[in-house]
Amino acid sequence: MRISPLGRQASSRGHTFRRFLIAFFALAATAALLYLARAPLLRAFGTWWVVDEPPAKSEAIVVLGGDSIDAARVRRAVGLYQQGWAPRIVLAGGMIRWYLSEASLMKKDAEGFGAPASALEVVESPADSTLEEAVEMLHYVTGHNFHRILVVTSDAHSRRARAVYSAALKKRGLEVRIISAPQFFMGSERWWENREALKQLFFEFIKYSETWWELRHLSDSTLGPVRGSSPPAQGQVP
């Protein structure tokens, strides 16, 4: 029995329509499952995104610029200092006025939280990115012969900070531990309902892509010459 061209076209359209329906319902079912499971999935993502490594005895606690209005990063750093994890706090921040730096404001916050002025060091950094900041901090750390530091930043920024500081400082044999401050509460039960957390995460995704590209081209010439004495063998505790 011969099938006419019109019959073959109708059969082909029928198969195409059935495949379309199968794909549509599969996509709809997947979307429905993701919607129903959104809370545990987003909660797990927030927990994974935030890097909060256990502190270890170090020479310094470094607080990155860009703190929140309630000084969450400085507060966390002072807490670490008071627990005895390091004898000094290094406050890094750029100029916000020609006569005033963010680092100097952070110093006032740290003193307000109970840290003595003698334990605070201000580094007025002109860096425009986390990588530039990390390179400057590399020079500061090696210049002071530090071998291990704790780096305090916000929860949303912590994963990118670990990637950058691990590449910049660990490349020189220095140990870095990233400590998270609950600035955007990424690890909270329903963080995705916080508008600021969502906005910050969106920007972090964009900046992470740029950082990934920068780190691919990171070289010894980018890091610059090492100052100070050589770090101890790996595993040696100062």
Whether 120 and 75 share a structural domain? yes
In a domain, 27, yes or no: yes
pLDDT of residue 20: 67
β pairing state of 89-93 and 120-124: parallel
Q: Is 155 helix (H, G, I), strand (E, B) or coil?
A: coil
Whether 141 and 173 share a structural domain? yes
Which residue in the block uniquely carries the two structure tokens 């499971």? 37
**Which among 143, 39, 152 is positioned nearest to 92, based on CA atoms?**
152
Confidence of residue 62 (pLDDT cuts 50, 70, 90): very high
Domain span at residue 30 reads: 5-36
In a domain, 183, yes or no: yes
Whether 32 and 56 share a structural domain? no
pLDDT of residue 60: 96
Whether 77 and 160 share a structural domain? yes
In a domain, 233, yes or no: no
Whether 61 and 22 share a structural domain? no
The CA distances from residue 126 to 94, 142, 186, 187, in Å, are 5, 19, 28, 31
Whether 148 and 216 share a structural domain? yes
**Predicted structure pTM score:** 0.77
Sign of dihedral through CA atoms 97, 155, 170, 234?
positive
Mean pLDDT score, 131-153: 91
- Number of domains the chain contains: 2
Confidence of residue 34 (pLDDT cuts 50, 70, 90): low
| Cβ proximity of 113 and 78 under 8 Å | yes
- Helix H or strand E encompassing 232: none
Confidence of residue 30 (pLDDT cuts 50, 70, 90): low
